[in-house]
Chains A and B, each alone.
Chain A
Amino acid sequence: MADAIDRREFLKLAGVGGTVFASGLAGCAGMAATTRDDFYFVQLSDTHWGFKGAALNPDADGTLQKAVAAVNALSVQPDFIVFTGDLTHTTDDAKERRRRLAEFRDIVSKLNNRNVRFMPGEHDASLDNGQAWKEFFGQSYYSFDHKGVHFIAIDNVSDPAARIGEAQLAWMKADLDKQAKDAPIVVLTHRPLFDLMPQWDWATKDGAQAVAMLMPYRHVTVFYGHIHQEHHHMTGHIAHHSAKSLIFPLIAPGSKPKREPVPWDPAQPYRGLGFRSVEAPKEKITEYPVTKA
């Protein structure tokens, strides 16, 4: 427990301007009552390696490296790190896609923590049904256990129509069937599983089936990316938390008729970009900027 206190102190004091989402991991409230080990992981998302567009990010070829350095600078390293998709920016050129994936892999290999989990986004995977992405990072959906928490990574992007698909849903059901109804479960995915803004492509066509499948489990939290901003939503008792991007922010859902990016502000470089830590079982999400404010 002393380690947990030190870690919280660290997150507060050395958080390089990080902000804490106090009611995070709401779905995992029951985790605190158990005797599970304390740990935290880091979520990075939407790095879009290969993106060009100075008006949105004049440091597009340097932001990912800064994020890697920021994670490495955490004095208490996370148990693991997860990238929730859109590792690369899309391209029609299959050779260029592999080049971007290779460069991304090389850059993140500089992370001191080598326990890194990857997920695809539609920019990585939708144009070839995940073929190139799998060559570099393996299975696009999977589950694993860590210190008493069950993690499920769902691929809702290899189908360009944003479907999880029957085969994966069947796998997910079989995976969940092995879990107790009070087991702490964390779902990682790229697109929102609920209808955040379908008209902005911020949805998963069969996401409601996945959510229905999760509903009998009492302690479920979903972490996703795709929308390039922090957002928090509840479907029943299940909390959904989207992460910031590491390339450019997008405007808030429904704030304008059309989805659009937020232009780079020279007065506040890297504003709206960042990554997060998630503490378990202490129910705390901490947001960090890319660089020290």
Chain B
Amino acid sequence: MNVQRRRLIAAGCASACFGAAAFAQMKDKVIRIVAKKFEYTPGEITLQKGTPVVLELTTEDVTMGFYAPALNVDVEIVPGKAVQVRLVPEKTGTFDFSCNVFCGDGHEDMGGKIHVT
């Protein structure tokens, strides 16, 4: 699956989550992840296989990316605007996520891990 397709899927997921935000708040666990140069907080999260979750992504300084190809997530996070991504992990394992919007000296090392148990 190419990057463009992944982006479309992620964008569609993000939009759907915006539309169902109230529903998501009622039903799904929300995990907030804050990006800033050059780290994510938290840098590691643990999800349950088959359990829906909403990642709420924000950035404290500049535009960042959140790219987790194994989970079909590829979104940009703009300062001042939270992005919500709904996930239903389908397989267990540990998956990397990283920033794919160049943000400075340290960008190459900016990433984290998603554990699915």
| Residues of chain A whose beta carbon lies under 8 Å from any beta carbon of chain B | 89-92, 122, 126-127, 157, 160-162, 195, 198-199, 201, 203, 205-209, 257-259
Contact = CB atoms under 8 A, between A and B. Distances in A.
B102 A127 contact: yes
Contact of B101 (A161, A207, A258): A161
Contacts of B63: 160-161
A21 B100 CA distance: 32
Contact of A198 (B3, B104, B108): B3
A195 B101 CA distance: 16
Summarize B's interface: helix, strand, loop or mixed: mixed
Contact of A162 (B98, B102, B104, B108): B102
6 contacts: A161-B76, A162-B101, A198-B67, A201-B98, A201-B102, A205-B7
Contacts of B108: 201, 259
Interface string B54-91: 00000000010101010000001000000000000000
A198 B2 CA distance: 9
Nearest to A51: B105
A205 B101 CA distance: 11
A90 B3 CA distance: 25
A257 B111 CA distance: 12
Contact of A91 (B65, B67, B76, B105): B105
Nearest to B4: A208
Contacts of B104: 90, 92, 127
B105 A161 contact: no
Given A201-B100, A201-B108, A257-B96, A161 B3 contact: no
Contacts of A198: 3, 67, 69, 100
A193 to B, nearest CB: 11
The 3 A-B residue pairs with the shortest CB-CB distance, nearest first, are: A126-B102, A160-B102, A122-B102
A4 B100 CA distance: 44
A209 to B, nearest CB: 8
Nearest to A198: B3
Nearest to B99: A201
A90 B105 contact: yes
B103 interface: yes
Interface in B3-19: 3-4, 7
